[in-house]
Amino acid sequence: MLFAPAYYDSFGEFRRLQREMNRLFDGVSVETDEFPSVNVWSNPDGIVVTAELPGVESKDINISINQDALTIEGERKAHVLTEGVQCHRSERGEGRFVRSIKLPFDVDADKIKAQCKLGVLTVTMPRAETSKPRKIAISAE
């Protein structure tokens, strides 16, 4: 960059945008960026997490919650190859998977609902009463 004393830092804008995006996601952090992909929706009263889990039976999925950490683990069984079958392509993986998601607030473990339809797992978690913000009255002096 010999002849560029005042060059336009085109990546500066991208970096700033990336920082803004990361700030938006503050409060929700995911430990690994692997299978399954998840989307997280929230409002002040609860969180909904959807995960794409095609080919995984409901009985092979384990969901557990520990205050503000949701763990989805399970196993995708492989297609059983019988005699005389040739495999041309094998792009769909198989095996065990685990994913933990840290939620922005504690949820009520007793009221969690999970549903697996069309290969998409939806977990609905209402907020724990203890983690709801309480209004504090200011007394007049």
Partner 1 sequence: MNINKTKNVPAERGENRVSGKAELTRDLPVFTPAADIYENDDSLLVVCDMPGVEEKNVEIGLEDDVLTITGNQGEYHPENYQLVYQGYHTGIYRRAFTLTTGIDQEKIKARLSNGVLSITLPKSAAAKPRKIAIEAG
- Interacting residues with partner 1 (CB under 8 A): 25, 27-28, 30, 33, 37-43, 46-48, 50, 52-57, 79, 81-82, 84-93, 104, 116, 118-120, 124
Shortest reach from residue 125's CB to partner 1, in Å: 11
Q: How far is the CB of 48 from partner 1 (least distance, A)?
A: 5
Identify which of residues 29 and 130 has a Cβ nearer to partner 1 in the complex: 29
Q: CA-CA distance, 34 to 39, in Å (whole number)?
A: 13
Could you give the 3-state DSSP secondary structure of residue 138?
coil
- Nearest CA to 67 among 114, 121, 104, 25? 104
Smallest gap from Cβ 97 to partner 1, in A, equals 14
Using the minimum distance from each CB to partner 1, give the nearer residue, 65 or 116. 116
Which CB, 89 or 134, lies closer to partner 1? 89
The nearer residue to partner 1, 118 or 140, going by C-beta atoms, is 118
Number of C-beta neighbours around residue 49 at 10 A? 21
Helix (H, G, I), strand (E, B) or coil at 22: helix
Residue 71 to residues 30, 46, 106, 134, 138, Cα–Cα distance (Å)? 10, 17, 14, 28, 40
Smallest distance from partner 1 to CB 69, Å: 15
